[in-house]
Amino acid sequence: MSAAPVAAASALRKPLHWALLGLGAALALLLSVALGIAIGETALSPSLVLQVLANKLFGANYAIDPISQGIVWNYRLPRALVAASCGAGLAVAGVILQSMLRNALAEPYLLGISAGASTGAVLVSVVGIGAGAISMTVGAFFGALCAFALVALLAHAAGSGGLRNGGQIVLAGIAGSQLFNALTSLIITKSGSAEQARGIMFWLLGSLSGVRWPDTVLTACIAITGLLLCLLHTRALDAFTFGSESAAALGVPVRRVQLVLLLVAALMTAVMVSIVGAIGFVGLVIPHAARMLVGVRHRRLVPASAMMGAIFLIAADVLSRTLIRGQVLPIGVITALVGAPVFACILLRSQRRQR
Amino acid sequence: MLISVRRFVLPGLLATSLLTSLSASAAPYPMQLQNCGYTVSLKQPPASVVTIGQAGTEMLYALGLGDKVVGTSLWFNAVLPPFKAINDKVPRLADNDPSFESVIGKRPALVVSQFEWMVGKDGVVGTREQFHDLGIATYAMPSDCEGKNNLKGADGTRTSAYDVQALYKSITQLAQLFDVQPQGERLVKDLRERQAKAVAKVKAAQQPQLTAALWFSSADLAIDPYMAGKNGVAGYMLQTLGLRNIVDSSEEWPTVGWETIAKANPSILVIARMDRRRFPADDYQKKLDFLKTDPVTQHMDAVKNNRIVIVDADALQGSIRVVDGMEQISDAVLKLAQPAGR
């Protein structure tokens, strides 16, 4: 058989292929949310969960005790939705940073944004900056922005193109991370309370236990806005993969796009980290995994990363609640513990295929 | 006559004086006393003492030793009213843990620590060896080290349940170290009697199957709260009063999800009042606001029927206030037994 008919057939099949893939991903996301609601510290039967959802979404009138109803509707559903938004947001931020900086290692956690957020949160909680008027969340937000600004400035000052030089900013990010982690440790050590250190550690490694509906609205809005902005710039992101000079040659308004996309990545990370704490690994692993699945074109990579990030973080949250009975693990521990081996597997398998 | 005085009265007097000297020598100096795996050695009654932790501070005040205290630290609540005058004269080295040098700067003969992790193997303030090297004796409260592994779990893990005997032991031993045994006995007797009364009160209320949970604080308001484990001091208080703690962890202060607490729906919720402000939830008013406004906790029976007992945080440590806390909870149970609002 000649090659031409096969290529034609696969081209014909392609739209269907992508539609099926999208549908499958949407189903997987729905299933993850369902699992996120159904699994928790206390056992609630699936029928009860369904009844609560029917009551709340479709105005059904099942008699359910208000505590069970509250657990499903006010604790677990917002938690699953926030996990999805944060997973999507962090993954998309990873895609942006990896493309803009042309560095496979670029991700919010590594660039010091998460470390900055932690320092901000700790400053509010331990040192009492803001005197109760601002919350840990607000502190984390400003900490993240400060860290990103500092890392960007440092990379820029280091010369030879600043932001355009991916290697420089990753090095600056490592320095920034170390600096902010040291500051956080300093503050915690100075406060010297086991209880406080524990409270902060939980925060540093991420936790979704305090998440409620207002957080859901905020994180979902940020994630969707970030995703849309990113989707508007997929062509530019493709161009940036070959460097900003090539992007400029292709007619991309380099400065403007750089500013918009880096701001999007910084804001998304700052908001997500301020709500759920420092969750590493998502921004690094998910874009790579998504690339192996859908290729390097950002038109597919961006939505695929968002979807996979969402599913990954819901799954990580469910695992954090169930891995050790009677104890909730920080979600950052799970993303690293589960993410690293999974990433290694994907890496090895893709290597073998290439051979 | 004279002879008989010599023969009978004098020996009698001698014998009495011998007896008194014997009873005084129940605490002979140099004195050695076993404490949390260390030996406390004293050549004479300590002339000065620095306390790390409110529990030890107030215990020394209650033993009438306030004039010996040259520095205090680590406070959860305001000092008990009867001790305010004496406490005002004592410098507070730190609201939380003091530095090693600020403690030794007071040249104390003895350091009394409420928590082992302040002066233990990984002592935050300093290790006991560090103090001993400088000739400063150290005493850690048995409440925090006996039947407890402080190297495991965030605030230590109980290997066996707390018993108030550990509190009595610390009172007795401190009295012994300072050679004021009668004060120690009086204090222990008083605490024993008050506790027995509190327990009897709950029994008399005849409320079957009461459950309780105790919320200390939280790292952030809506986040999983620090609750009293089953084997800690607070767990002991609840259990001794005949209340079942819905939290089943051996950790001293485990974090437990609100989901679990709401689902267990305890009859009584105890919340801690403290003066420190590390976390928003340190403010008991904020705890109350959360309980009444959170979409899930507001449906808990204890919240709906206002069965929330506010107890000083220091009553939940191995302190003489344990009895205060038990009295407050027993009063709440008694109120529960009475028909509400009628």
Rounded to two decimals, the ipTM of the complex is 0.73
Stretch B316-338: mean pLDDT:
88
Determine the pLDDT at residue A11.
Answer: 52
Mean of pLDDT over chain B? 87
Chain B touched by A55 (CB under 8 Å): no
Give pLDDT, residue B20: 46
Query: Is residue A1 over pLDDT 50?
Result: no
Task: For residue A153, give Cα distances in angstroms to A156, A163, A173, A283, B51.
Answer: 5, 9, 11, 22, 49
Ramachandran assignment for B23, one of left (phi > 0), alpha (psi -120 to 50 degrees), beta (any other): alpha
Q: Report the amino acid identity of residue A150.
A: L
Query: Is A17 a residue whose pLDDT tops 90?
Result: no
Nearest CA of chain A to the CA of B299: how many Å? 6
Task: Please check whether residue B118 is in contact with residue B74, taking contact to mean a CB–CB distance below 8 angstroms.
Answer: yes
- Which residue in the block uniquely carries the two structure tokens 């874009």? A287
Q: List C-alpha distances in Å: A301 to A225, A235, A282.
A: 17, 12, 15
> Closest to A195 (Cβ–Cβ): which among B155, B259, B300?
B155
Q: What is the DSSP string of A208-235?
A: -TT--HHHHHHHHHHHHHHHHHHHHTHH
Give the residue with greater pLDDT, B25 vs B198: B198
State yes or no: pLDDT of A132 exceeds 90: no
- Taking chain A, what is the end-to-end CA distance rounded to the nearest angstrom? 25
In a mutational test of the A interface, the residue from B259, B276, B289, B300 whose CB has the highest number of chain A CBs within 10 Å is: B259
Residue B284, H or E segment:
helix B284-293
Partner-chain contact A328 B124, CB within 8 Å: no
* A198 in contact with B, Cβ within 8 Å: yes
Which chain A residues are Cβ-neighbours of B254 within 8 angstroms? 327
A74 touches chain B (CB under 8 A): yes
Q: Residue A54: is its pLDDT beyond 90?
A: yes
Q: What is the predicted pLDDT for the residue at B39?
A: 92
Q: With 0.80 as the threshold, say if the pTM is over it.
A: no
Which pair of structure tokens corresponds to residue A325? 């009975």
Pairwise CB contact (< 8 Å): B96 & A191: yes
**Is A125 in contact with B219 (Cβ distance < 8 A)?**
yes
Q: Name every residue in B having a CB less than 8 A away from some CB of A.
A: 96-97, 117, 124, 154-155, 217-224, 226, 248-249, 253-255, 257-260, 262-263, 265, 277-280, 294-296, 299-300
- What one-character DSSP code corresponds to residue B316? G
pLDDT tens sequence across B64-122: 999 999 999 998 889 999 999 999 999 999 888 898 999 999 999 999 999 988 887 77
Is the CB of A130 inside 8 Å of chain B's CB atoms?
no
Contact B223 A210 (CB under 8 A): yes
According to the model, what pLDDT value does residue B92 have?
95
Q: B125, B98 in Cβ contact below 8 A? A: yes
Measure in Å the smallest separation between the Cα of B224 and chain A Cα atoms. Answer: 6
- Asked if B315 and B111 touch (Cβ cutoff 8 Å), the reply is no
Q: How confident is the model at residue A267 (pLDDT cuts 50, 70, 90)?
A: confident
Q: Please, is A13 exposed, middle or buried when counting C-beta atoms within 10 Å of its C-beta (0-12, 13-18, 19+)? A: exposed
**What is the biggest distance separating any 2 CA atoms in chain B, rounded to whole angstroms?**
92
Provide, as residue numbers in chain B, all residues whose Cβ is less than 8 Å from the Cβ of A70: 262, 295-296, 299
User: What confidence tier does A131 reach under pLDDT thresholds 50, 70, 90?
Assistant: low
**How far apart (Å, rounded) are the C-alpha atoms in residues B4 and B71?**
56
Which residue in this structure is represented by tokens 């908001």? A271
Name which of B222, B265, B295 is nearest A210 (Cβ-Cβ).
Answer: B222
Determine the residue among B97, B223, B253, B285 to mutate to test chain A binding: the one whose Cβ has the most chain A Cβ atoms within 10 Å.
B223
Binary contact (A71, B224; C-beta < 8 A): no
Contact list, A193 vs chain B (CB under 8 Å) = 96-97, 278
Q: How confident is the model at residue B154 (pLDDT cuts 50, 70, 90)?
A: low
Please answer whether residues A283 and A268 qualify as being in contact, where contact means their C-beta atoms are separated by less than 8 angstroms: no
Cα separation values, A235 from A166, A238, B119, Å: 20, 5, 62
Q: A249-270 burial by CB neighbour count: b if 16+ within 10 A, else e?
A: eeebebeebbebbbebbbbbbb
Which pLDDT score is estimated for B117? 83
Q: Which residue of A has its CA nearest to B286?
A: A132
Strand partners, B112: B51, B139
Q: Which residues of A touch B263 (CB under 8 A)?
A: 42, 67-68, 71
> B265: which chain A residues are within 8 Å (Cβ-Cβ)?
67
Q: Which helix (H) or strand (E) holds B103?
A: helix B100-104
Q: Give the distance from residue A245's alpha carbon to the nearest chain B alpha carbon, in angstroms.
A: 47
Percent of chain B with pLDDT over 90: 61
Instruction: Closest CB to A194: pick one of B155, B254, B255.
Output: B155
CB contact under 8 A, B223 and A207: yes
| Chain B residue numbers touching A210 (CB-CB < 8 A) | 220-224
Pick the closest to residue A272 from A211, A354, A199, A342 (CA basis): A211
Categorize the per-residue pLDDT at A192 as very low, low, confident or very high, splitting at 50, 70 and 90. low
Can you list the alpha helix ranges (DSSP code H) found in chain A?
A: 3-38, 46-58, 66-70, 77-100, 113-122, 136-157, 166-191, 194-204, 213-232, 234-240, 244-249, 254-276, 282-294, 298-322, 331-354
pLDDT, residue A102, reads 80
For chain A, the maximum distance between any two Cα atoms, rounded to a whole number of angstroms, is 76
Q: Indicate the SS3 state at residue B184.
A: helix
> How many beta carbons lie within 10 A of that of residue A196, not counting itself?
21
Closest B-chain CA to A70:
B296
How near does any CA of chain B get to the CA of A278, in Å?
15
pLDDT at residue A195, as a whole number: 64
pLDDT of residue A199: 67
Query: Is the pLDDT score of A243 beyond 60?
Result: yes
Decide if A70 and B226 are in contact by the 8 Å CB cutoff: no
pLDDT tops 70 at residue B21: no
Domains and CATH numbers, chain B: 31-179 (3.40.50.1980), 206-337 (3.40.50.1980)
Note whether A57 and A51 are within 8 A (CB).
Answer: no
Rounded CA gap, A168 and A154, in Å? 9
What's the alpha-carbon Rg for chain A, to the nearest Å?
Answer: 21
Contacts of B74 in chain A (CB under 8 A): none
Question: What is the C-alpha to C-alpha distance for residues A40 and B335, in angstroms, rounded to an integer?
Answer: 35
Residues 6+ apart with CB under 8 A from A11: none
Contact B223 A209 (CB under 8 A): yes
Compare CB distances from A195 to B226, B258, B280 and report the shortest one's residue: B226
Cβ A313 vs Cβ A85: under 8 Å: no
Structure tokens at A13: 């099949």
pLDDT of residue B19: 46
**Contact A269/B at CB under 8 A:** no
Q: Would you tell me how many other CB atoms lie within 10 Å of the CB of residue A14?
A: 10
Q: How big is the A-B interface in CB pairs under 8 Å?
A: 100
* Confidence band, pLDDT 50/70/90 cuts, at residue B138: very high
Give B232's DSSP letter. S
CA distance linking residue B229 with residue B264, whole number of Å: 15
Confidence check: pLDDT of A218 > 60:
yes
pLDDT above 60 for A3: no
Give 3-state DSSP helix, strand, coil % of chain B, rounded to 5: 45, 20, 35
Q: Residue B287 — pLDDT band, cuts 50, 70, 90?
A: very high
Q: Is A5 within 8 Å of chain B by CB?
A: no
Q: Which residues in chain B touch residue A328, judged by CB atoms under 8 angstroms apart?
A: 224, 255, 257
Residue of chain A with shortest Cα separation from B280: A132
Q: Establish if A200 touches chain B: CB-CB under 8 angstroms.
A: yes
Q: Which residue of B has its CA nearest to A131?
A: B277
* Contact between chains at B263 and A42 (C-beta distance less than 8 A): yes
CB pair distance less than 8 Å for A132 and B280: yes
When pLDDT is averaged across residues B212-239 and rounded to a whole number, the result is 90
pLDDT of residue B107: 95
A147: its two tokens: 């860290």
Is pLDDT of B341 > 50? Answer: no
Q: Tell me what pLDDT residue B264 has.
A: 94
Element (H, E) at B16: helix B10-24
Residue A190 has pLDDT above 80, yes or no: no
